[in-house]
Chain A
Amino acid sequence: MKILIANRGEIAVRIIRACREMGLPTVAVYSDCDRGARHVRDADQAVHIGPSPPSQSYLRIDRLLDAARATGADAVHPGYGFLAENAAFARACRDAGLTFIGPSPDAIEKMGSKTGARAIATRAGVPVVPGTDEPFAAAATDRQIVDAATRVGYPLLVKAVAGGGGKGMRAVETPDSLLNAVRTARSEAGSAFGDTAVYFERRLIRPRHIEIQLLGDCHGTIVPFVERECSIQRRHQKVVEESPSLAVTPALRGRIAAAAQSVAKAAGYTSAGTIEFLLDEDGSFYFLEMNTRLQVEHPVTEMVTSIDLVHWQIRIAQGERLSIDPERALAPHGHAIECRIYAEDPDQGFMPSPGLIRGVRAASGPGIRNDGGVVAGYTVPVFYDSMIAKLIAWAESRGAALARMERALREYEVLGIRTTIPFFLWLMREPDFVDGRFDTTYLDQVLASRRGDSFMTLTEPEETELAIAAGLDAWWRATSGAASSSRASGSAWKSAARQDALRG
């Protein structure tokens, strides 16, 4: 089986690694700005699919199918994002005689609609967050909208039916801001997903985001895994994930896993997927949505179960029966935590910081996994999500995993651009995070309370050491050419000096 990876960045690298381990040849695809990207170098073959904007390359179904034909690929792995949850793409692959490494187009479609997925969960006997069962018609009157909101109750969330990542979502505290929130959510959903349909959900006050990974084979077996805790979110985007959750007892785990399994069964689900739940303070949990793909945070599950989810996605697509011991999948060994490292400047409100990466030295050592997608000399493009790597730490306990993560973050060097590593260093010592006292509102609140304080705090000796290092560096450069200089003939420094000279 030759596999075309319809994606880029770290997830393309991750999938290529699995293929190589399984002895399967790989085909990468790339846009204009990704010619020098790592996934292109790692794959056996690589095909150019168009200009840098995603709509002209990574989202072009026709070009991806052409690339598969041109290289003789038999299967397509969509990764996450881009076309991973696009039923038309899964269908087009099938129609072209390609194996789509993911669920059926039918299952993607059923679970892709948030209201449709809620209905399936309800029929499977799984509680959903109270809300409207159907999206509003575009022609719904203000009166109908207000009445529906009153039935659901405040505070509530306006959510896009096609939504994800917080897009097209608005929190409404009181009735007077309702209509305005519906309007903005609709327009945001329209531009983000091409679908303006929205619905209401009651907003839980302090929920945790708990999700269940599962695998389903083509013979009716579905295996749920130990939960992931994904409550650490900045503006509805997960930034840290861990497994297991401090808030989930073995008994609760069994109940949530069984609920996830019955939803997946009801959807006729195959391949890897994730069912997201909100866990309320009183221990009750509610179905939120299903992600019909491999998730960004899948490594934490792999680390605590020693089961390779991407291998299994491929084996399932090859028709193999799941032979995982269900008890093992639900019994975590130790604790794993993941930090999503973004090319963003945490001191500038997490502004993207694209640009040339001069050097990378990923953390390593015991219990550390680095799922990276960039190399030195690569320019982080402005066209895509700015995540450059995922750093995962495993240890026997949560406390040891946090200490190991902090150690690895200090080791991790990305030169030339700003990253979110200093923010994670701060978080690893934030008392509420360390003690596990958090819910999905925690991170935005604790960040707001810092009022923009810098994450680049230095001790007095560190500041002096930096001045000494910069002084020596300047001295070496000023005296370079002198016989004994140990100044490397650094091309980066030379070109920077040239630029300085040109700017006068």
Chain B
Amino acid sequence: MTFEIEVNGRTRRVSVERAGTEPGQFLVGVDGTTKVVDARRVGEFGISLLFPGDAHAGTAIDLAPGSAPGEVLAHLAGRTIRIVVNGRRAARRGADTSGTAHGEQKVTAPMPGRVVRVLVAQGEGVAARQPVVVVEAMKMENELRSPKAGRVKDVAVEAGTSVEAGRVLIVIE
């Protein structure tokens, strides 16, 4: 069985098949390089991997469902890494926030809050990831950034506006 798996923005082709009849023994190929893997599920989210061919090196990874289709949030030694499985569609969705987005883009409120400052004006040019508006939520001021380089088409709020999650704040074209 073959999957297309995006780890931290890089897409890998992963093939999985059983190795012999022992449970938990697999042959796993990543971009054509195949390894014997001894894998066990531990609880609902945990996976323990041992690599008999690599001096029995081991690693523990937890995988929990993310918020988007095909998205998985992995935990590895203190870090949280976004993984997308078979997600050509989901991967494109992910790219919308990566700074290379195309077309008209909306900056929306990620959660209910209050607009503290609008940092750009209509018609102004902006760089990708440039802060465009500051929203206070959860007792913190949060800078929201432009998803792409472009021009501010519309500023839909002003300082002091209370906003619901998902409300369009700024439109970049």
Contact present for B64 and A486 (CB under 8 Å): no
Contact present for A466 and B61 (CB under 8 Å): yes
In the complex, number of A-B residue pairs with CB atoms less than 8 Å apart? 186
- A20: Cβ under 8 A from any B Cβ: no
Interface residues of B in 29-86 (CB under 8 A from A): 30, 35, 37, 39-41, 43-45, 47, 49, 59, 61-65, 67, 69-70, 72-81, 83, 85-86
Complex CA gap A488/B26 in Å reads: 18
Interface residues of A in 329-372 (CB under 8 A from B): 344, 349-352, 354-355, 358-359
Contact present for A473 and B63 (CB under 8 Å): yes
Contact present for A452 and B129 (CB under 8 Å): yes
From A415, which residue of chain B is reached at the shortest CB distance?
B64
Q: A359-B64, A466-B61 are in contact. Are A349 and B145 (CB under 8 A)?
A: yes
Complex CA gap A473/B86 in Å reads: 12
Contact present for A474 and B24 (CB under 8 Å): no
Contact present for B41 and A487 (CB under 8 Å): yes
Per the CB 8 Å criterion, the residue count for chain A at the interface is: 64
Q: A467-B7, A469-B74, A472-B47 are in contact. Are A415 and B62 (CB under 8 A)?
A: yes
Proximity string of chain B (125-138) to chain A, C-beta cutoff 8 Å, 1 when within and 0 when not: 00001010000011
Query: Smallest CB–CB gap between B43 and chain A, Å?
Result: 7
Interface residues of A in 151-173 (CB under 8 A from B): 165
Q: Return chain B residues, CB-CB under 8 Å to A479.
A: 1
Dominant secondary structure at the A interface: mixed
Pick the interface stretch among A65-73, A205-213, A256-264, A381-389.
Answer: A381-389
Q: Return chain A residues, CB-CB under 8 Å to B112.
A: 382
Query: Smallest CB–CB gap between A14 and chain B, Å?
Result: 19
Q: Which of B3, B12, B77 contacts A474 (CB 8 A)?
A: B3
Contact present for B86 and A474 (CB under 8 Å): yes
Q: A382-B111, A458-B81, A484-B23 are in contact. Are A469 and B61 (CB under 8 A)?
A: yes
Contact present for A422 and B7 (CB under 8 Å): no
Complex CA gap A466/B49 in Å reads: 10
Contact present for A466 and B145 (CB under 8 Å): no
Complex CA gap A472/B63 in Å reads: 11
Complex CA gap A455/B8 in Å reads: 11
Q: Return chain A residues, CB-CB under 8 Å to B70.
A: 500
Q: Return chain B residues, CB-CB under 8 Å to A458.
A: 7-8, 76, 79, 81
Contact present for A474 and B7 (CB under 8 Å): no
Complex CA gap A484/B41 in Å reads: 13
Complex CA gap A349/B63 in Å reads: 24
Proximity string of chain B (72-106) to chain A, C-beta cutoff 8 Å, 1 when within and 0 when not: 11111111110101100000000000000000000
Proximity string of chain A (455-473) to chain B, C-beta cutoff 8 Å, 1 when within and 0 when not: 1111000111111111111
Return the 8 tightest CB-CB contacts between A and B, nearest first.
A471-B14, A496-B65, A415-B64, A475-B16, A410-B78, A469-B61, A358-B64, A352-B138
- Given A237-B140, A358-B64, 17 more contacts at CB 8 Å? A385-B138, A410-B78, A414-B80, A422-B80, A458-B7, A468-B14, A470-B83, A472-B16, A472-B26, A472-B28, A473-B63, A474-B85, A474-B86, A488-B44, A492-B65, A493-B44, A503-B69
